[in-house]
């Protein structure tokens, strides 16, 4: 069983509150709806697990017809706050994306390693187009350059959690983006 630390032990500050998040997500949805107007084969490809909360809110602001699918990747180990640089596909998309307009939906782009890898992998499958939508981006951390089409918020180089993003797999249910206290660990040890 997991015993979660009280939030006061791990949360340094709220970086983006719920209202600000939701307002920006509505804007992104409207912009995506304008950009894909008339398109009838849009696929939202959500990167699990972190992207799932963002996806479910975002898709309700997208007015063009679309389908959704999921893939899961990992580049982090438990308790490691830095990318290993090695990306592993834990679960692939179920659908064939040949000829589809694919919009990758991701929680955060940090070094860029994960997204560059996913884009390259999906590009080889002959989609009509690929674009990237990320809720958060840490531009100062970029190692691999990736073109991002939609960014919710640029954020500073701090470890954040909540709204789909985890701290040691916990706290994904928070409705806001919080900054972790330096050295914070989610489980009571």
Residue 153 contacts ligand IMP per CB under 6 A: no
Give the residue from 22, 47, 13, 24 showing the smallest Cα distance to 161: 13
Output the six-digit token pair for 10. Answer: 């791990």
Q: Are 157 and 141 in contact (CB under 8 A)?
A: yes
Beta bridge partners of 129: 101
Comparing CB distances to ligand IMP, the nearer of 62 and 115 is 115
Comparing CB distances to ligand IMP, the nearer of 66 and 119 is 119
Residue 110 contacts ligand IMP per CB under 6 A: yes
What minimum distance in Å lies between the beta carbon of 121 and Mg ion? 15
107 is a catalytic site residue: no
State which of residues 165, 174, 177, 186 lies at the interface with ligand IMP (CB under 6 A).
165
Comparing CB distances to ligand IMP, the nearer of 22 and 74 is 74
Comparing CB distances to Mg ion, the nearer of 50 and 112 is 50
Chain center to CA of 35: 20
Give the residue from 120, 55, 44 showing the smallest Cα distance to 87: 120
Question: CA 51 to CA 120: how far, in whole Å?
Answer: 19
Choose the contact partner of 164 out of ligand IMP, Mg ion, none; CB within 5 to 8 A by kind.
none
Q: How many CA atoms lie within 13 A of 162 on its CB side?
A: 19
Q: Are 40 and 100 in contact (CB under 8 A)?
A: no
Q: How far is CA 24 from CA 61, 99, 123, 133, 134, in A?
A: 11, 30, 28, 13, 12
Choosing from 107, 110, 147, 149, the catalytic residue is 110
Q: What residue has token string 């490809």?
A: 45
Provide the binding-site residues for Mg ion, judged by CB under 5 A. Answer: 50, 107
Per-residue mark of binding to ligand IMP, 66-105 (x: CB under 6 A): ---------xx------x----------------------
Choose the contact partner of 112 out of Mg ion, ligand IMP, none; CB within 5 to 8 A by kind.
ligand IMP
Residues that bind ligand IMP (CB under 6 A): 50, 75-76, 83, 106-114, 159-161, 165
Active-site positions?
110
């Amino acid at each position: 069983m997991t015993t979660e630390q009280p939030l006061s032990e791990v949360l340094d500050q709220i970086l983006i509150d719920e209202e600000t998040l939701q307002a920006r997500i509505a804007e992104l949805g409207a912009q995506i709806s304008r950009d894909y107007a008339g398109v009838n084969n849009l696929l939202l490809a959500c990167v699990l697990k972190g992207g799932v909360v963002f996806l479910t809110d975002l898709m309700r602001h997208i007015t063009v017809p679309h389908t959704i699918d999921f893939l899961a990747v990992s580049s982090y180990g438990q308790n490691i706050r830095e990318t290993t640089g090695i990306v592993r596909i834990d679960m692939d998309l179920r659908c064939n994306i040949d000829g589809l307009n694919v919009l990758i939906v991701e929680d955060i782009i940090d070094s860029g390693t994960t997204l560059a890898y996913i884009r390259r992998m999906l590009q080889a499958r002959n989609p009509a187009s690929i674009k990237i939508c990320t809720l958060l981006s840490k531009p100062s951390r970029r190692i691999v350059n990736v073109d991002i089409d939609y960014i919710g918020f640029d954020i500073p180089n701090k470890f954040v959690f909540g709204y789909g993003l985890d701290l040691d797999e916990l706290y994904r249910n928070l409705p806001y983006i919080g900054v972790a206290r330096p050295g914070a660990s989610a489980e009571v040890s």
